[in-house]
A and B are shown apart, each in its own frame.
Chain A
C-alpha cells in the first residue's frame, strides 16, 4: 500500500488505523524479533543516556537533575571541548568526503577488473579494516626515535638530520592522524559498494550499449550511479559515523591524553569524562551534541544524494 494512501486513511479515522495494523500483522511478525531486541538494548539505553545528559551522575550516587547546565558548560566554558570539536570537524571534513569518494572509486575500478582477480583486489584494499588492530603498526612507522621507520628512511635520504617526534609534537600529530584515518576509510561503505555493483542487472548495461553509451564514464553516470543510490546512502551514513566517532586511532597513536590535547576528538573527550572522571551526565551531554551534529550532516547528505543522476 502506498504512503499517500496510508496518510489519507490515517486522517479519516483511528478505526482505519487499527484495521491497517491488523491487515499488516505478518509485517509486524517479521519485525518483532528485531524490534524487541532493538528496543531493549538500543532504544532504552539511548533514552537513559539523553536523560542523564541533564543530570550530574557519577555512577555511584543517584543522578541529580541539573537542567541545561551540562550543555551550557560544555558549549561555553570547556576550552578543551573546542579543540576536540575543531579536530573532529577537521577529520570529518577532510577524510569523510575523500574517503567516501575513494571507497566508491576503488569499488568501481575493481569491478572493471576481470572476475578472477576481483576478490584478491578487494582483499588488498580492504586489508586495513579486516583486522581491527593493524593500524597500531603505524605507531611503529611513525615512532619518534631514530628506530622509527619514517625517521630512519627520511634520515637515510637526507631529508631530516634529527628524528621528528611525529606523534608527540602537536605540529605533526593531526597530519599523521589524517593519513591513518584515510587509510582506514575503505570500510563498510567500500564493501557495500562492491556488493552493490554486483546487483545491478546486466540487461541495463546491454540496453546501454544499444542506446549508444560510449565510454565507462557515461555508463557510470547514467546507469551505475542511479542504480547505486541506496548503497551510496548507506556508505554516506557509515562515513559520517566513522569519521565523527574517530577516537581509537588518535588514542593509540598520539597517546591519551595527547600533548596539549592536540589530537583530542569529541569522542576521546567523552571517554575521558565517562570512563576516567566518572561524570556520566557530562559525557552523555557530549554524546547528545555529537549525535545531533551527525544527524544534521546526514540530513544534508540525504538531500544531496536524492539529486544523483538527474
Chain B
C-alpha cells in the first residue's frame, strides 16, 4: 500500500481547512465566553465588579478575592480547610478508580459475549440511566440506613461504582473497537479471560477510559453530599465553598473566586486525559 505522508491528508482542500478554522474560532468564542468571564471576575477588585457599564476584561488584576476566600474558609470554625479538600479528593479518587474497574469488567462481557440475561441486563442499565435521580433519593436513603452506611463515605463511593452512564459508554466502545478475532486469537494461544481483559481489551479502549475518568471525576468532585453526610468533618469541599459563597452581594468577588477554585481539579484532569488520547490501532495487523 502507498505510504500516506504524515501531516496533510491527500483528499483535503486548503479552502476547506481555512473554513474549518474560521467556524471553530467563531463558535469557540461563544463556548469559551463564560469561562473567560468567570476567570476575569475572580481577579477583579471590588470597584471593577460593580462598575457601569460593566467591563468583561479586568484592568487591575488582584488576588484579593482568593485571599478573602481562604481567610473565610480558615475562620469558618470546627474543621480546617485542608480537611474538606482531603474529603473531596478521597471520594473522587476512590470512586473513580472503582467505577472504571467495575464498569469496564461488566461492559466487556456485555459487549463481547451473549449469555442468558445479558440483553435484559443491558436494557435495565439504559432504563436506569433515564430515570430521574430526584425520586430515587428517598428509597436510596432508606437502603443506606438499612446498611448502616449513613454518614459514611461508602454511601457516596459504592453507588458511584455502578453509575449507568459509565457502563453504557464502555460497552459502546468495546463493541465497536475490539475485533472479535483478536480475542479469539488470544484464546487459542491459551490466554485466560482475566489476562485478555487487562492486556488486550483495556489498552484498546484507552480513549474511552480516559473519557470515563473525566465524567466520573466531574460527578464526584462536584458532589455536595448533603443527603447522606451530616458530620461536619466528613463534608466535601463544594459544600463548604457553597456556604461561603452564599453570603449575598458583598461576597460577589469571593463567589467568583469559588467558581474558579472548584474548577481546578476537573480542569487539570481534563487536560491530562485529553493530551493522552491518541489513535489506537485496533485492527492494524489483522487480516480477516
Residues of A bordering B, CB below 8 Å: 1-3, 6, 10, 17, 20-21, 24, 26-28, 30-31, 33-35, 37-38, 40-46, 48-49, 52, 59, 106, 109-110, 112-115, 118-119, 121-138, 140-141, 146-149, 152-153, 155-156, 183, 186, 188, 191-192, 194-196, 198-199, 201-203, 205-206, 209-210, 213-216, 219, 227-231, 233-234, 237-238, 240-241, 244-245, 267, 270-271, 274-275, 280, 283-284, 286-287, 290-291, 294-295, 298
Cα distance A128–B37 when bound, in Å?
A: 12
State whether A124 touches B176 (Cβ < 8 A). Answer: no
- Report B204-226 CB contacts with A as 1/0, cut-off 8 Å: 11011011001100100010000
A21-B116, A196-B173, A231-B176 known; A283-B31 Cβ under 8 A: no
Q: How far is the CB of A20 from chain B (nearest CB, A)?
A: 6
What are 11 A-B contacts with C-beta separation under 8 Å?
A30-B108, A30-B197, A109-B23, A128-B34, A130-B218, A131-B259, A155-B53, A209-B4, A233-B172, A241-B130, A280-B138
Q: Which B residues are in CB contact (< 8 Å) with A132?
A: 218, 222
Closest to A137 in B: B34
Chain B interface category by residue count: 35 or more
Please tell me which one of the listed residues B10, B132, B281 contacts residue A291 in the complex, with CB atoms under 8 A apart: B132
Tell me which of A21, A231, A287, A298 contacts B132 (CB under 8 A): A287
B50, CB-defined interface residue at 8 Å: yes
In B235-286, the 8 Å CB interface with A consists of: 259, 262-263, 266-267, 270-271, 274-275, 277-284
Give the residue of A10, A216, A228 whose beta carbon is less than 8 angstroms from that of B16.
Answer: A216
State which of B31, B34, B262 has its C-beta within 8 Å of the C-beta of A125: B31
Q: Quick check: which of B57-65, B66-74, B81-89, B159-167 contacts chain A, the rest being far away?
A: B159-167
Bound-complex Cα distance A214 to B50 (A)? 56
B11 touches A214 (CB 8 A): yes
Task: Give Cα A20–Cα B115 distance, bound, in whole angstroms.
Answer: 7
Whether A213 contacts B132 in the complex (CB less than 8 A), given A119-B275, A147-B54, comes out as no
Count the A-B residue pairs with Cβ separation under 8 angstroms: how many?
300
**Quick one: which of B24, B108, B139, B280 contacts A121, CB cutoff 8 A?**
B24
Would A230 and B106 count as touching, CB distance under 8 A? no
Q: Which of B111-131 contact A (CB under 8 A)?
A: 113-116, 118-119, 121, 124-131
Name 8 extra pairs, CB < 8 A, besides A27-B113, A123-B274, A206-B4: A33-B105, A124-B31, A141-B34, A141-B37, A199-B204, A231-B173, A237-B129, A241-B130
B186 interface residue, CB < 8 Å from A?
no
Least CB separation from A155: chain B residue: B53
Which residues of chain B come closer than 8 Å to A122, judged between CB atoms? 274
Which residues in B have their C-beta under 8 angstroms from that of A21?
Answer: 115-116
Residues of A within 8 A of B4 (CB): 206, 209
Contact at B158–A37, with CB atoms within 8 Å? yes
Cβ-defined contact, B31 with A137, below 8 A: no
Q: Are A34 and B275 in contact (CB under 8 A)?
A: no
Who on chain A is nearest to B204 by CB? A199
Contact, CB under 8 Å: A133 / B128: no
Contact A153 B31 (CB under 8 A): no
Q: Report B98 CB to chain A, min CB distance, Å.
A: 9
A43 CB to nearest chain B CB (Å): 6
Tell me which residues across on chain B come within 8 A of A112, comparing CB atoms: 12, 17, 20
B136 in contact (CB, < 8 A): yes
**Choice from B158, B267, B281 contacting A201 with Cβ under 8 Å:** B281
From the candidates B27, B56, B135, B175, name the one contacting A230 in the complex (CB within 8 A).
B175
**How long is the Cα–Cα vector from A306 to B12 in the complex, in angstroms?**
29
Residues of A within 8 A of B103 (CB): 34
Report the minimum CB–CB distance from A223 to chain B (whole Å): 11
Which residues of the partner chain B approach A27 to less than 8 Å between Cβ atoms? Answer: 109, 113, 115, 118
